[in-house]
């Protein structure tokens, strides 16, 4: 076996058998096995392509060379206490990035153009337009200026929004006001009307979206208060703090794609909350075709002596 695929079917497109077919087409002549269905000699496994494999599984392959995490976020994978010390490649494809930016653009525009108010007016039969400002009057702050955050920030700026971004290390992106590290957080928040979280979940970022942070967001903007969009990971926001901030007006609204527990439990207050938009972790539906091509290309390059791309830095947890 060269490549072992360890995924569970979350849709027809993500069935293990479909993954095998797609990867086999792109890696002719190699054996591709499915975990747990196929009988496999553990010492024959050189690569594993996995999404949320059971803890301990990867440690059972003594000749493992590379793990391909079939998503951008590696928080689930890094929780494996027996994760072998081999390179981990995560997904960073234009396909995934473009889809994420679509989500950010759509929800920022919905907020900016007061679409929820207009929908409500339609339901009531009211022809009552409100004052509408131009995009450059809205300050959007993107937390995380990585592959996805930088793309979203650029596209938001292209629409005309006044965009800033915040990252761990300093960045310079044309047209974006860049802030970094602890010292950069307060000035970044103070000029943010719509906060877009596109951070990875790490020990440093867990719970970063809390009551204190919400209180530091701008309150002098056109919306009359700040909004939160979280498409990073659920563990970034403290649920009780989001609810309390919505209830006392510290936040005007929240758009949440990711949650501490997924699927979001049926009794969760976010579901019916009038100021919350819930989406089912589908900001970017990962395209299995694009990811297969990406994994196959990396294997071919690696075997030709080339460098693996988009490696995870375990010290930083992303």
The reply to whether 144 sits near ligand NDP by the rule CB under 6 A is yes
DSSP code at position 201: P
Are 166 and 145 in contact by the 8 Å Cβ rule? The answer is: yes
DSSP 262-295: SSPPTT-HHHH-TTEEE--S-SS---HHHHHHHH
Each residue 269-298 as x (binds ligand OXD by CB under 6 A) or -, in order, gives: ---------------x-x------------
Residue 200 beta carbon to ligand OXD: minimum distance, rounded to whole angstroms: 8
CB atoms within 10 A of CB 203: 9
Q: How far apart are CA 66 and CA 308, in angstroms?
A: 9
- By beta-carbon proximity to ligand NDP, the closer residue of 70 and 284 is 284
- By beta-carbon proximity to ligand OXD, the closer residue of 76 and 180 is 76
Name the nearest CA neighbour of 46 among 10, 12, 1: 1
Q: Which does 205 bind (CB under 5 to 8 A by kind): ligand NDP, ligand OXD, none?
A: ligand NDP
To the query of whether residue 237 is one of the catalytic residues in this protein, the response is no
The reply to whether 73 sits near ligand NDP by the rule CB under 6 A is yes
Q: Which does 209 bind (CB under 5 to 8 A by kind): ligand OXD, ligand NDP, none?
A: none
Q: Residue with structure tokens 């039969």?
A: 125
Q: Using CB under 6 A, which of 128, 169, 172, 261 touches ligand NDP?
A: 169
Helical H runs in 46-192?
94-112, 115-124, 147-159, 181-190
Q: Using CB under 6 A, which of 71, 87, 187, 207 touches ligand OXD?
A: 71
Q: Using CB under 6 A, which of 238, 284, 288, 299 touches ligand NDP?
A: 284
How many Cα neighbours within 13 Å face the side chain of 244? 12
Q: How far apart are CA 83 and CA 85, in angstroms?
A: 7
The reply to whether 145 sits near ligand OXD by the rule CB under 6 A is no
| Spatial CB neighbours of 259, under 8 Å, sequence gap ≥ 6 | 234, 239, 268, 270, 281
The reply to whether 165 sits near ligand OXD by the rule CB under 6 A is no
Name the nearest CA neighbour of 193 among 167, 239, 153, 161: 161
* Piece of the chain touching ligand NDP by CB under 6 A; list 134-142, 195-203, 268-276, 289-297: 195-203
- The contact set with ligand NDP (CB under 6 A) reads 72-73, 92, 96, 100, 144-149, 167-169, 198-202, 204-205, 231-233, 257-258, 281, 283-284, 318
Contact positions toward ligand OXD, by CB under 6 A?
A: 71-73, 91, 284, 286
């Amino acid at each position: 076996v060269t490549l072992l695929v360890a995924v569970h079917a979350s849709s027809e497109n993500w069935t293990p058998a479909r993954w095998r077919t797609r990867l086999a087409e792109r890696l002719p002549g190699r054996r591709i096995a499915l975990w747990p269905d196929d009988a496999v000699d553990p010492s024959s496994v050189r690569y594993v392509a996995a999404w949320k494999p059971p803890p301990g599984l990867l440690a059972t392959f003594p000749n493992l060379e590379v793990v391909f995490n079939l998503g951008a976020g590696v928080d689930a994978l890094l929780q494996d206490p027996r994760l072998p010390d081999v390179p981990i490649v995560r997904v960073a494809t234009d396909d995934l990035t473009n889809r994420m930016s679509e989500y950010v653009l759509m929800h920022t525009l919905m907020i900016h153009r007061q679409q929820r108010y207009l929908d409500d007016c339609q339901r009531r039969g009211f022809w009552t337009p409100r004052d509408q400002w131009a995009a450059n009057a809205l300050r959007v702050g993107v937390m995380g200026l990585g592959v996805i955050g930088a793309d979203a920030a650029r596209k938001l700026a292209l629409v005309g929004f006044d965009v800033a971004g915040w990252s761990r290390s300093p960045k310079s992106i044309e047209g974006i006001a860049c802030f970094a590290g602890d010292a950069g957080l307060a000035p970044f928040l103070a000029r943010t009307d719509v906060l877009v979280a596109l951070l990875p979940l790490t020990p440093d970022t867990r719970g970063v979206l809390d009551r204190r942070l919400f209180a530091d967001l701008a309150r002098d903007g056109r919306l009359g208060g700040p909004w939160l969009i979280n498409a990073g990971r659920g563990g970034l926001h403290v649920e009780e703090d989001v609810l309390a901030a919505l209830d006392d007006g510290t936040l005007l609204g929240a758009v949440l794609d990711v949650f501490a527990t997924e699927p979001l439990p049926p009794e969760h207050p976010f579901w019916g909350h009038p100021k919350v938009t819930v989406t089912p972790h589908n900001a970017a539906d990962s395209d299995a075709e694009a990811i297969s091509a990406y994994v196959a290309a990396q294997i071919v390059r690696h075997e030709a002596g080339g460098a693996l791309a988009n490696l995870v830095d375990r010290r930083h947890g992303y």
